[in-house]
Structure 1
Amino acid sequence: MTRPLARSMPGLSVQPDGQRAIVRALPEEVPIALVFDGTTQAVMMATPGDIADFAHGFALSEGIVDDLSQIEDFEEADHGGGIEARMWLRTDRAEALKARRRVMAGPVGCGLCGIDSLDQALRPLPRIAAGSPLLSRADVAGATEALAGLQPLHAQTRATHAAGFLLPGQGIVAVREDVGRHNALDKLIGALARTGIDASAGAFVMTSRVSVELIQKSALAGCPVLIAVSAPTATALRLAEEAGITLAAFARGGGFDLYSHPDRISTGVSHVA
């Protein structure tokens, strides 16, 4: 069963010059249960597309597995009221998951809902080594505009986020969309891993603000650069600094703000005090 990603819904547009009946395309969101070895680890509200990418990306970005070879089998089951993404883990990873079992309930705007301790909210992250990729000023300044042209669901509904993967000199080579920004990034991480694209070779590009969970997912995916159209939180910026991630925010209109670990981006201009 293939679910539609959007539906046409009637409404009434009320404007200063009058009102009129309208029909708008609105994105669907459904409960997605992420099930490991028969036990639900998380239930997230998400766009019902690219479910395999979402499940595999979630497993990687939550540290449930370190490599997709540790997932022995996968199936997708649609129950009408929602979708189960079922994964079976290699024995050692299954045992490790039992030791850190948590249940999350994640509405659209939240990537950390349901954790069972404060320590999990700001868990230690792997540090990404200094060095490549080296992105040009033009790569970063044009990233979100390029991403905007690769979002068919957003063009239809104006109600979804996207995550893109940018390679130096090649532009954006992969995109995933979802009603939730963190879901879109999980889908992208899963898509890259499933197609053998190394996340350390480029940059993630986001249509959203940068919050803590986006830095956490980037670090666990091994991606050294995060480019976003909007602002980071102060905590996200501190976390990016600690994790060795280059953070470029407000990337729009031909410019951007450059924060942590700027050496991966060649700005081509002198710093202004």
Structure 2
Amino acid sequence: MFQRITCTRIGDGEFVQDVAREAPVAIFVNGRHLTTVILSPAGLEDFITGYLYTEEIIRSPGEIESVRIEENRISVLTKDPFRRGNVKKTILSGCGGAASYIDTQKLPAIDSDHMVAVPEIKAAVDALPAPGVLEAVALADGSRIVACSQDLDRHNALDRVIGRGLRDGFDLSRMVAVGTGSVTSEMVRKCLMAKIPVLVSTGPPTALAVEIALETGLCIVGSAGTPDMAVYAHAERITGLSA
């Protein structure tokens, strides 16, 4: 995910530094172009599994017949070769194009009795890779990290760990997603699609992310690992809040 380049530091001359790689990658499903994404060009099988799942193009990894990864292109063949896909970045409703808004009735609701303790959250956050150029997202089973991915974009990193979890057969409804950066409505949507009941991040959530989470049963913990750590939605899923 990194490439060594030569640059000149102001006042200190020439030196070699590792910089993050990024690449446009075109995604084709059953021979049809779905979308083109910009991401770190590594670990693409996990990414494409999670991405197609959270975009509702597949319902399980078993629906993928084959994946061919080439330079700047991922070609996926599903067991139903006539299946078409559409990218669902937001769920919008409106009347005649005059107004649009996220329709939470079209999003799945979390149905899980999974509880997480505050010490487990702190331990999972501490286990994340050190802050750097790349965003990190992990799946935690209690305080134990079972999958972790990094990418330039935290949404891509979330797709990667969801894909890893699906490919490894994890029960995502008993997992916690733990990541760096702010929590956006798109991250909430992806967690809802994957049935992940708790989303923890080192940054705060957006107001829209909290609004959607409150209506759909997702627990959001923001600013984790800092003195400002707080539960923004569905605190009933967190034990030890008064400690």
Where does residue 87 of structure 1 map in the other structure?
Answer: 76
**What secondary structure does 2:191 align onto?**
helix
**Deviations, residues 54-103 of structure 1 (Å, cap 9, x unaligned):** 1111000111111122222222122xxx2x21111233x844x35xx45x
Distance 2:74 2:101 in 1: 24
Where does residue 253 of structure 1 map in the other structure?
Answer: 226
**Deviations, residues 177-224 of structure 1 (Å, cap 9, x unaligned):** 111111111111111101111111110011111111100100001100
**What secondary structure does 1:176 align onto?**
strand
Unaligned runs of 5+ in 1: 105-111
Aligned mate of 1:222, from 195, 200, 220? 195
Where does residue 122 of structure 1 map in the other structure?
Answer: 102
Paired residue total: 235
User: How far does residue 52 in structure 1 lie from its aligned partner after superposition?
Assistant: 0.6
- The aligned runs of 1:49-68 (5 Å cut-off) are 49-68=42-61
Distance 1:159 1:205 in 2: 17
Distance 1:146 1:248 in 2: 16
Aligned mate of 1:160, from 124, 131, 134? 134
Q: Which amino acid is the alignment partner of residue 140 of structure 2?
A: L
Return closer, same or farther for 1:238/1:190 CA change in 2, 3 Å cut-off.
same
* Contact 2:112–2:173 (CA under 8 A) maintained in structure 1: no
User: How far does residue 254 in structure 1 lie from its aligned partner after superposition?
Assistant: 6.3
* Contact 1:141–1:255 (CA under 8 A) maintained in structure 2: no
Aligned mate of 1:179, from 152, 166, 179? 152
Where does residue 107 of structure 1 map in the other structure?
Answer: none
- % identical aligned pairs: 25
**What secondary structure does 1:252 align onto?**
coil
Return closer, same or farther for 1:249/1:206 CA change in 2, 3 Å cut-off.
same
* Contact 1:141–1:254 (CA under 8 A) maintained in structure 2: no
* Contact 1:231–1:249 (CA under 8 A) maintained in structure 2: yes
Q: Which amino acid is the alignment partner of residue 138 of structure 1?
A: P
Aligned mate of 2:172, from 199, 213, 238? 199
Where does residue 26 of structure 2 map in the other structure?
Answer: 33
Aligned mate of 1:12, from 8, 20, 29? 8
**Deviations, residues 93-126 of structure 1 (Å, cap 9, x unaligned):** 844x35xx45x9xxxxxxx4xx7x8449835210
* Contact 1:246–1:261 (CA under 8 A) maintained in structure 2: yes
Structure-1-length-normalised TM-score: 0.79
Q: CA RMSD in A?
A: 2.3
* Contact 1:165–1:204 (CA under 8 A) maintained in structure 2: yes
**What secondary structure does 2:57 align onto?**
coil
Return closer, same or farther for 1:196/1:175 CA change in 2, 3 Å cut-off.
same
Where does residue 108 of structure 1 map in the other structure?
Answer: none
Return closer, same or farther for 1:238/1:175 CA change in 2, 3 Å cut-off.
same
Distance 2:222 2:51 in 1: 24
* Contact 1:142–1:251 (CA under 8 A) maintained in structure 2: no
Where does residue 75 of structure 1 map in the other structure?
Answer: 68
User: How far does residue 25 in structure 1 lie from its aligned partner after superposition?
Assistant: 0.5
User: How far does residue 255 in structure 1 lie from its aligned partner after superposition?
Assistant: 6.1
Distance 1:121 1:191 in 2: 31
Q: Name whichever of 220-229 and 68-77 sits farther off.
A: 68-77
Return closer, same or farther for 1:94/1:206 CA change in 2, 3 Å cut-off.
farther
Where does residue 24 of structure 1 map in the other structure?
Answer: 17
* Contact 2:202–2:226 (CA under 8 A) maintained in structure 1: no
**What secondary structure does 2:223 align onto?**
strand
Q: Name whichever of 18-27 and 52-61 sits farther off.
A: 18-27
